[in-house]
Structures are given as structure tokens and as C-alpha cells.
Amino acid sequence: MSDGSPSRKPVARFWLQLKNLFSTNGTIGLDGQICWWQLIIKMVLVLMLFLIVFGGLAFLFRDKLENVGRFVVESLGLPGVAVFAFFVDAFILPMAVDIVFPFASHWSSFVFLSAVSASSIVAGIFGYWIGRLLGRTRMVLSVTSGFSEDGKRMIGRYGPWAVAIGALTPIPYSTTVWLSGMVRIPFWKVFIACFLRIPRMILYYMAVTGAFSFFI
């Protein structure tokens, strides 16, 4: 009797590819060298994924998403969204601030992007000091274990530029700033690199809201 495993293989393969899209597999070599073409491809694919997913949701669940947007605005408000952005980027969590972008139309783009960008920058600074002050604790070592080897090699090769790369690309930003603190990169260099979250927020905001506005 068939257990249905052949039919599950395409699904398992799809989820594996999706997981690899948001990981550093194949992107960072054993010497810490970044494979730039793979990183650029991943970044483009992530943007395309956002366009497809958010655009599809907007087309299929237009009314429900309007209700969700209203809930976000009325219940959380801009301060709540800013706090959410801080926690997502300060701690190593399986989510991204981008999920609130579709519901940002109730605020001006400048105000919204200023709030989430500032929160993300402060989160990066906070994450750096987590790594610097608590980097040898069991908890921090456990949380960063999935990326620590690749990340440390990358930081060893690129220094603070590794944080800049994490701020702009699918390479995990929060993990990168934690590791930069753990290896004691000078704070002022990390501080400057964190400001690259601003163009990253603008780019992804334009992609997500563009997909929504096209279908709504």
C-alpha cells in the first residue's frame, strides 16, 4: 500500500527551497566569502515572493484585509507598530516587520517609514549590546547557533560591512548584529551600518504596498 510519500515529495522540496531562500545556505563560503550572485538572486526572489503573496492575498481577501488593516491601526497605532518592528529586529524571531506594510496606508509613507526605520536602527544597536554583554551565555550561544559559524566567518572577512549586508539583504539582520557584538566589532561602525535599514525598509515597503495597490 502506498503511503503517499511520492505525492509529498514536491511539497517537501518546495518547503526546502523556501527555507533555503531565507537562509545562508550556499551564500557564505567556508572562508566567509559571500557569493554575491546567489545573494542578489535571493534578494530578487524574496521581493518577487512578497509581490506574489501580498498581491494574491489582496486579490482574494480584499475585504478581510481591510478589516485587518483597520484593526492594526485602531488597536496598535503607529507606536504599536514601531514597538513590533523593534522586537522583530532586536531579537532573533521567525518573522519580519514587512507583514505590517500592507496596512500602513492609513499613515503617510514618510511618517510610517520613519517610525519603523528608527525602530529597526535602535533594535540593531540593542542587538549589538546583547551580543557584546551576553554573548558568552548559554542562551545567546543557543539562539545564534544556527547562523553562528557562517556569520562569524562572514564578519571575520567583512567586519562591519557584514552588518551593512545584513541590514540590506535577506541575510538575518538581528543575528548579524548579535554576532558583531559577540566578536566585539567597534560599536560606532555597527551604529553607522544599522542606518542602511532605511533604504531596505523603503525598498520592501514599495514592493509590498505596490502589490497591494495593484490588486485593491
98-115, pLDDT tens digit by residue? 878 877 777 899 999 999
Q: In whole angstroms, what separates CA 210 from the centre of its chain?
A: 19
pTM: 0.70
- pLDDT of 137 reads 82
The stretches of 22-160 forming alpha helices (DSSP H) are 36-60, 62-71, 77-90, 109-134, 138-143, 145-158
Number of residues written out for the chain: 216
- pLDDT of 193 reads 93
Sign of the C-alpha dihedral computed for residues 107, 111, 117 and 118 taken in this order: negative
Inter-helix orientation angle 197-215/109-134, to 10°: 140
- pLDDT of 188 reads 93
User: What is the average per-residue pLDDT within 142-151?
Assistant: 66
- pLDDT of 211 reads 67
Q: What are 40-85's pLDDT values in tens digits?
A: 666 566 666 656 665 666 566 666 656 665 676 678 888 988 998 9
Q: What are 24-44's pLDDT values in tens digits?
A: 555 655 555 656 556 566 656
The structural domains of the chain, with segments of one domain joined by +, span 78-206
